[in-house]
């Protein structure tokens, strides 16, 4: 199993290029099920989650070919309606095929995802939405079996603004009869990107990016030919890495408007940030100032940046309160950061981080994707060597992160 070794203490300096967004790519790949023909997606990151989704689409009969950041998905032939447990257990986002399969094939059978490292993560809001659209849902044998000859438009209120739930319902609604209105929809940039892609396929969608999305069903959709947005969480992770080392880093090919909450909080730490249309320049300060954060649905502070921001706060001047409002168990990185000397106490959904002068390198274990990123950030600033185990979590969501960090001066290497 691969490990990552970091010798901390060097200031990062140089330029880094952000890859396409994992969480935009996954729903887009699933959306290709809605068409019949050759779908092209550009700027696709090379990640384990992307190849898992590719294999799942191949399993249901689609042609799948990925090369140099492009993917070709041939959706002429769908021979299965089932996403088996083996796929769903390695990647929860497999559930994104449910809506498109139901809309195109009138039936879908998807293994029910279990809980995961960050929380219980039920999918009741996805299934409730499909039921409102007239689908029959049967939950048995660990599978969700959804059937509907033809989905019908409906008004669907989501108790919680769920990202993949909104995506699943939006995709299904594009081929439903009549109008679907999603109320309290998620507003993340990935939702807007999916809506733009679906519109480019011929869908009729209004309001993506706001809490009310209206979708008028159409008879058929054309294949995709679409370039996905840059990964805002990868950009935020490099921003945090630059800031904690007091470095000077230009982050290219990003969309600063997707990162307002992160930019605002990082500025509060004393980090200088210059924004351009598709790049950001980060200049770290000698000592970071503490900042409180509360994770919220977009445009609030993203839960996917909470662990990385906490790493910064471990060495800030002062005490920071970090409240996780999206997932009930997303503090697994705390125990690992404490092994590096961090002073953190957790009570309920809030962590109190008392900044210390310097972390010390230690052997630590990655527990989920963003927790792994926070340990890298901590390791970059720590005194001595940090060895991160279980980096397969990292490979799910960051494209060649160690190579990109090495190019800007980090002493980092992957040990096979």
Q: Which residues bind to ligand EPU, rule: CB under 6 A?
A: 23, 26, 93, 119, 121-126, 160, 162-165, 186, 303-304, 326-327, 369-370, 397
In the complex, least distance from residue 327 CB atom to ligand EPU, rounded to whole angstroms: 5
In the complex, least distance from residue 356 CB atom to ligand EPU, rounded to whole angstroms: 27
Q: Residue 51: phi, psi to the nearest 5?
A: -70, -30
Q: Residue 293: phi, psi to the nearest 5?
A: -135, 150
In the complex, least distance from residue 269 CB atom to ligand EPU, rounded to whole angstroms: 22
DSSP 311-364: HHHTTSBSEEEEE--S-TT--HHHHHHHHTT-EEEEETTEEEEE--S--B--EE
How far is Cα 259 from Cα 265, in angstroms, rounded to an integer? Answer: 10
Q: Which helix (H) or strand (E) holds 170?
A: helix 163-173
Q: Do 395 and 49 touch, CB atoms closer than 8 A?
A: no
Burial (CB < 10 A; 0-12, 13-18, 19+), residue 181, is middle
Question: In 10 A of CB 161, how many CB atoms?
Answer: 21
How far is Cα 146 from Cα 70, in angstroms, rounded to an integer? Answer: 31
Assign 229 to helix, strand or coil: coil
Q: Which is nearer to ligand EPU, 127 or 314 (CB)?
A: 127
Q: Which is nearer to ligand EPU, 109 or 126 (CB)?
A: 126
In the complex, least distance from residue 392 CB atom to ligand EPU, rounded to whole angstroms: 14
Q: Which is nearer to ligand EPU, 83 or 382 (CB)?
A: 83
Assign 60 to helix, strand or coil: coil
Q: Which is nearer to ligand EPU, 316 or 394 (CB)?
A: 394
Edge-to-edge strand ranges of the sheet holding 293-294:
293-294, 319-323, 350-354, 343-347
Residues annotated as part of the active site: 116
DSSP structure class, residue 23: H
Q: Which is nearer to ligand EPU, 228 or 382 (CB)?
A: 228
Q: Which is nearer to ligand EPU, 64 or 327 (CB)?
A: 327
In the complex, least distance from residue 119 CB atom to ligand EPU, rounded to whole angstroms: 5
Q: Which is nearer to ligand EPU, 250 or 370 (CB)?
A: 370
In the complex, least distance from residue 408 CB atom to ligand EPU, rounded to whole angstroms: 23
In the complex, least distance from residue 40 CB atom to ligand EPU, rounded to whole angstroms: 21
Of 96, 95, 127, the closest CA to residue 111 belongs to 95
Cα dihedral sign, 257-400-24-324 = negative
């Amino acid at each position: 199993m691969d490990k990552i070794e970091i010798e901390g203490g060097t200031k990062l300096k140089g330029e880094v290029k952000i890859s396409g967004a994992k969480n935009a790519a996954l729903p887009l790949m699933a959306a290709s099920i809605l068409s019949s023909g050759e779908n092209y997606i550009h700027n696709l990151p090379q990640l384990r989650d992307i190849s898992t989704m590719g294999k799942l689409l191949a399993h249901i009969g689609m042609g799948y070919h990925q090369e140099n950041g492009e993917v070709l998905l041939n959706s002429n032939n769908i021979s299965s309606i089932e996403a088996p447990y083996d796929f769903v257990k390695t990647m929860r986002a497999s559930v994104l095929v449910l809506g498109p399969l139901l809309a195109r094939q009138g039936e879908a059978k998807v293994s029910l995802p279990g809980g995961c490292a960050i929380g219980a993560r039920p999918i009741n809001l996805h299934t409730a939405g499909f039921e409102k659209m007239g689908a029959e849902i049967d939950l048995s044998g660990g599978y969700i079996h959804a059937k509907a000859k033809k989905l019908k438009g409906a008004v669907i209120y989501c108790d919680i603004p769920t990202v993949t739930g909104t995506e699943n319902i939006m995709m299904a609604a594009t081929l439903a009869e009549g109008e679907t209105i999603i109320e309290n929809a998620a507003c993340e940039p990935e939702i807007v990107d999916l809506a733009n892609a679906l519109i480019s396929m011929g869908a009729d969608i209004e309001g993506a990016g706001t809490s009310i999305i209206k979708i008028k069903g159409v008879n058929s959709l054309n294949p995709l030919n679409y370039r996905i947005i840059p990964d805002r969480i990868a950009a935020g992770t490099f921003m945090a890495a630059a800031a904690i080392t007091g470095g000077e880093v230009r982050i290219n090919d990003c969309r600063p408007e997707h990162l307002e909450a992160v930019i605002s909080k990082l500025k509060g730490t004393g980090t200088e940030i210059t924004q351009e249309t598709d790049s950001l320049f980060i200049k770290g300060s000698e000592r970071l100032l503490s900042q409180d954060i509360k994770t919220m649905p977009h445009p609030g502070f993203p839960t996917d940046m909470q662990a990385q921001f906490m790493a910064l706060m471990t060495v800030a001047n002062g005490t920071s309160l970090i409240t996780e409002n999206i997932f009930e168990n997303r503090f697994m990185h705390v125990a690992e950061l404490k092994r590096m000397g961090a002073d953190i106490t957790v009570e309920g959904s809030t962590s109190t981080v008392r900044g210390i002068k310097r972390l010390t390198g230690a052997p630590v274990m990655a527990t989920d994707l963003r927790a792994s990123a926070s340990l890298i950030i901590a390791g970059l600033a720590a005194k001595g060597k940090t060895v991160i185990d279980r980096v397969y979590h990292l490979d799910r969501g960051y494209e060649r992160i160690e190579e990109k960090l090495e190019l800007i001066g980090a002493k980092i290497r992957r040990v096979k």
